[in-house]
Amino acid sequence: MKIALAQLNYHIGNFESNTAKIIDHINMAKQNGADLVVFAELCVCGYPARDFLEFDEFIDLCEESAQKIAAVCTDVACIIGLPTFNHKDEGKNLSNSAYFIEHGKVKAVVNKALLPNYDVFDEYRYFEPSTEFNCIEFKGKKIALTICEDLWNTIENPLYVTRPMDSLIHQQPDVMINIAASPFAYNHDEERIAILKDNASRYKLPLLYVNQVGAQTELIFDGGSLVFDNTGKLIDELPYFEESLAYYTLHDDGSISFEHPSTMKTERPADIEQIHQGILLGIRDYFYKSGFKQAILGLSGGIDSAVVCALAAEALGAENVMAVLLPSRFSSDHSLKDAEDLVKNLGCKSATIAIKHITEAIETSLHPQFNNLPFNIAEENIQSRSRAILLMAMCNKFGYILLNTSNKSEAAVGYGTLYGDMCGGISVIGDVYKTQVFELARYINRNQEIIPINSIIKPPSAELRPDQKDTDSLPEYDILDKILAEYIENRCSSAEIIKMGYDEKTVRRVIRLINLAEHKRYQTPPILRVSPKAFGMGRRMPIVGKYLS
C-alpha cells in the first residue's frame, strides 16, 4: 500500500482555499500512484476554529467541502479531518472527526476520544469524546486511525482514563495513522517524537503521523510529520515550517520504505533556530491570512525593535517594512545612528518624526492639572503614547499593520506603557525572553552583521528620562529571566524558586510584578507563541486575584 502524507498550511474558515488545496494534493498523489492520501486534523475548516464551531452553517460548509473532496477520490482514498454533528441525544453537539473516503464516498468515520482542555487547547468546549473504536479495512490492511491527542496518553501521568489504541490493538491492525494539529513550541519536537516512538514500540506497529504547518494568529504549527517502523525506530521526518508531500510504501511484513531522500537531521536544531523559523512563519501567515502586506514599527536603536525589524524584513520583504524613528529629547545620538545603520543594512523604508514638540504640547496642556509636580512616570508614558499615536495614524493612512516590539520579560513584569509601546496588531517577540532576544540577534547576524553590534552590546534602556537603564527598575536580565521561566513555564511557587538559591526579596518582588501586570497583558495584541507557556490564550489568570500579588 502506497501512502502519501500531505503536510499543508490551512486557513481557518477559508473553505474554498482549503478544499482546493486538498483536492490538488489528492490529484498529485494519485498521479504518483498513491493508494491513500492523509491530511491533518480538522484540515477542512482549519485548526483551531474556536467559536466558529458554534455556527451550524460552519459545520454544514465543512460537510459540503468534504463531499467535493470525496467526488475526486475515485481511484485513490483519502483521510481528512473536519467537525461533524453528533446525532446522539446525549453529549456535545459536535465531534472532532476523521473521514475515510474511498470510491467517492465516506466509508468510515472516526471521532476523537481524548479532547485536550489545557494550555492553548479548548476542545471539550465544543466536542463530545468518542467511546467507540474500530479499525478501517483498506487494500487488505487494517488501519488504526486516531486523531492527535488520542496517542498522547502514554505519558507517565496519564491525563485521561482510556487509551484508544488499547481497544484498537485487539482488532489486530497492520498500521497506525495519526492525524494532528500540534502547535509549535521550541521544545515540543523532541517531546512529540518521544510520545509517538513510545506508541510504535508499545503496540509494535508502524506509525504514520501527519501534522499541519502554518500559523493561525498566535498559534504556530511546525509540521515535522513523522514515520516510525514497528520497532519504534524513527525512519523519516518531514521538513519543519514548510509544506511537504511525501510517499511511503507499507509492505506485507510491516516494514515501511519511502521514495524521497530523508530530511532527517543528525542532530536537533537549536532552540533559537526553531524560534527564528517559527516567528518568520508567524509573521508571514498573520499578514497573508489577514490580507495585509505592509508592516510598520517604531525603531529606537535598541535590541528589541532591531530584532523585530530584521525578522519582519526577512518574513515580508524589506520593501514592505516601514521603520519609523521617533526621537525624543532623551534619545541618544548613538541610538539614532544604530537605527539608521539597521535601516541601511536591511534596505527597508524609513521615516523620522521627532516627538519633542508633541510631548511638550501635551505637558503644557496638562500643566494646570500637574501643578508643578516633579517629572515622573506620567511624563515618561506621554512620550511612549505620543509615538503610538503617530504610528497608528500612519497605519490608518497607509494600511500598515503595527508590529509590537515588547519582549516576554517586559510583558511579564509590566515594564511597558499601555496604549504606548504595548500597542500593535501582532506581538512578534512577546514570547521571547530578553536573554533570548540577544541570542536571536546573534543568530540573525550569523552570516553577516545585519543588526548593528552596538544595539546588541549596549545596556538596554527605554530612554524616557536622562541616563535611564532597564536595570534601574529591574534585576539583571540573566537573573530575571530565570525566575520568570521557573514561575511562568514551570509553575513553581515563590518558596520553590527561593529554595533554588535565588534571592528571596528579588523573587517575591518579581512575582508580585508579574501578577500586578495582568491587567496590562489583557490589553496587549496577540503574541506569537514559541514557548511551552506563552501569555495569551494558553495562560489564564485573574486580574483582581490576591494570590501571590
| Enzyme catalytic residues | 41, 112, 148
Cell digits of residue 264: 532527517
> β-pairing, 321-325 with 94-102?
unpaired
Residue 244 phi, psi dihedral angles, 5° rounding: -160, 150
Three-class secondary structure of residue 82 per DSSP: strand
Q: Would you mind telling me the total number of residues written for the chain in this entry?
A: 549
Q: Which residues pair with 247 in a beta bridge?
A: 4
Give the span between the Cα atoms of 83 and 64, in whole angstroms.
12
**183 near 213, Cβ under 8 Å?**
no
Give the span between the Cα atoms of 221 and 284, in whole angstroms.
13
Please name the residue that has the C-alpha cell 509573521.
Answer: 283
Give the span between the Cα atoms of 157 and 148, in whole angstroms.
18
Question: What b/e string do you get for 464-489 counting C-beta neighbours within 10 Å, with b at 16 or more?
Answer: bbeebebeeebbebebbbbbbbbbbb
Give the span between the Cα atoms of 243 and 214, in whole angstroms.
8
Cell digits of residue 218: 498566535
Q: Is the peptide bond before 542 cis (omega within 30 degrees of 0)?
A: no
Residue 421 phi, psi dihedral angles, 5° rounding: -75, -5
Return the HEC string of 326-380: CCCCCCCHHHHHHHHHHHHHHCCEEEECCCHHHHHHHHHHHHHHHCCCCCCHHHH
Instruction: Give how far the C-alpha of residue 150 lies from the chain's centroid of Cα atoms, to the nearest Å.
Output: 21
Nearest to 76 by CA among 114, 23, 141: 23
How far, CA to CA in Å, does 166 sit from each of 197, 206, 268? 16, 15, 31
Sequence-distant (6+) residues with CB within 8 A of 374 are none
Please name the residue that has the C-alpha cell 464551531.
Answer: 53
**208 near 179, Cβ under 8 Å?**
no
Concatenating the DSSP letter of every residue in 130-163 gives P-----EEETTEEEEEEEGGGG---SSS-SSS--
Give the span between the Cα atoms of 19 and 312, in whole angstroms.
30
